[in-house]
Amino acid sequence: MTMPWTVRGVGIITATALMVSLAVSRAPSLAAAAPTLRESGDLTQLVLAYERSLPWRNSDGYKWDESSSPRQARTIADAAVTARHGDLAAARRALAPYGYDLVEFTHTGIGGGRHLVLRERPQANGKRARNWGLYVLNQKPRARDLAFEAPHPQFDTHTPEMNIDGYLRGGAALFAMAGTHRYANGKPGDNPYELSLDSDMAREPDSLFQQMHESLTRKSTDVVQLHGFARQGGNSENSQCEDVVLANGAARPSSGEPDRPRPGLRQVADQLRLRLLSTTVWPDSTSCPLGATSNPQGKFTRGIGGRFFHVESERAVRDSPEVRAKVVDAVLCALLGIKGRSGGPLTRRRESVGRRCTAPSGRCSGAEREAGEDSASRADAAHGP
Ligand SMILES: [Zn+2]
């Protein structure tokens, strides 16, 4: 397989991989041989290649054992925290028995930067043992207190690249992507599959994905999940939804639960509308069901008083590279005051990250002009299936 990035240290991987695989079942001390892995390339391409390799729907590829997996997930998440604090050798040793590599990755694409990639290693048969996901930590000392999460690769088309785009352009601290299709172990209600929620990281509360979320974010962290839905061909109720639906996962006020503020969501909505995307903040539109009220990452973040941004984009929005970039632009502009690249692809590195969004009231300077220029293509993109 040709990889769009370069690898150093591979020479010792093959020999060491055998030792590590032995370490899983026999002698944890052999994990001390965990190699240092350094790679460089385009982080977006790494994420997309990983997405293509994930177990598909009904593959039964997600492996979770109630008796041992919760403890293993906690150990892996603890190792991620250790890595974030800079002790990479200790993190590598802790991760190795569970098949996770810690890769020191130099991103050569727009924005550059050094990142730590926690990546599950394929076994001798080419398959990963657990498929618990891919995690990227920003090594920049002043990475923003911001996380982008992609719980639904493969199913929510183009959301891995949207989330890694947000991570890179926002200079975020964390990117997380699930390790399988959400229905790898079956969809709830689809016989004969009984595992239902196991493989759906935005439903199942007990997973490495959740452990990473809880260990690597805090009250001050803005957590963004860019999801996707379709007005046609899926849940018929979705046909009532706007182009973009924002939620923080809190229940409807009418549910009997106390009404909770939805901090920041309306600022994001304003930015999306400036880009001519029809937008609603759930549950303002009572007929649209996309409230994310059972999302465990949202529950955790709301529970500690943090801000959770669940962003559902319609299929036509995601199918256009220019329009899906506007969604990321709107989020970054509202949360960070960073001007995005809606005007077109960037060709110069200095333009990529950190251009300020200077207009008052959360408006990006130039946003209206960009929206006006792109209105024709936007209209085309919004109304196809
Ligand atoms: Zn989703």
Give the model's pLDDT for residue 382. 30
Q: Report the half-sphere exposure of 311 (CA within 13 A, side-chain side).
A: 34
Give the model's pLDDT for residue 233. 75
CA of 223 to the centre of ligand 1 (A): 15
SS3 369: helix
| Mean pLDDT, all residues of the chain | 80
- pLDDT (tens digit per residue) in 67-108: 999 999 999 999 999 999 999 999 999 999 999 999 999 999
CA of 163 to the centre of ligand 1 (A): 12
Domain boundaries, position 284: 5-382
CA of 156 to the centre of ligand 1 (A): 5
CA of 273 to the centre of ligand 1 (A): 22
Tokens of 326: 């506007």
CA of 152 to the centre of ligand 1 (A): 5
CA of 307 to the centre of ligand 1 (A): 18
Lowest mean pLDDT among 4-8, 86-90, 200-204: 4-8
CA of 13 to the centre of ligand 1 (A): 35
DSSP assignment of 183-211: TTT--TT-TT---GGGG-TTT-SSSHHHH
CA of 48 to the centre of ligand 1 (A): 17
The residues, ordered by sequence, that sit 6+ positions from 58 with a Cβ below 8 Å of its Cβ are 183, 184, 185, 186, 193
CA of 191 to the centre of ligand 1 (A): 22
Q: Give the number of domains in the chain.
A: 1
For helices 69-84 and 208-216, the axis angle rounded to 10 degrees is 30
CA of 195 to the centre of ligand 1 (A): 18
CA of 88 to the centre of ligand 1 (A): 32
Are 116 and 105 within 8 A, CB to CB?
A: yes
CA of 52 to the centre of ligand 1 (A): 17
Percent of all residues in the chain with a pLDDT value above 90, rounded to a whole number: 58
Distance CA 209, CA 73 (A): 9
**CATH label of the domain that carries residue 49:** 3.40.630.40
Which H helix or E strand runs over 29?
A: none
CA of 246 to the centre of ligand 1 (A): 12
Q: Which residues of 194-231 are buried (b: 16+ CB within 10 A; e: fewer)?
A: ebbbbbbbbbbeebbbbbbbbbbbeeebbbbbbbbbbb
- pLDDT (tens digit per residue) in 248-291: 888 766 555 544 556 789 899 999 999 999 999 887 776 788 88
More confident residue, 181 or 364: 181
CA of 325 to the centre of ligand 1 (A): 18
Give the model's pLDDT for residue 129. 96
Tokens of 142: 């002043």
CA of 313 to the centre of ligand 1 (A): 9
Which H helix or E strand runs over 120?
A: strand 114-120
Distance CA 265, CA 308 (A): 9
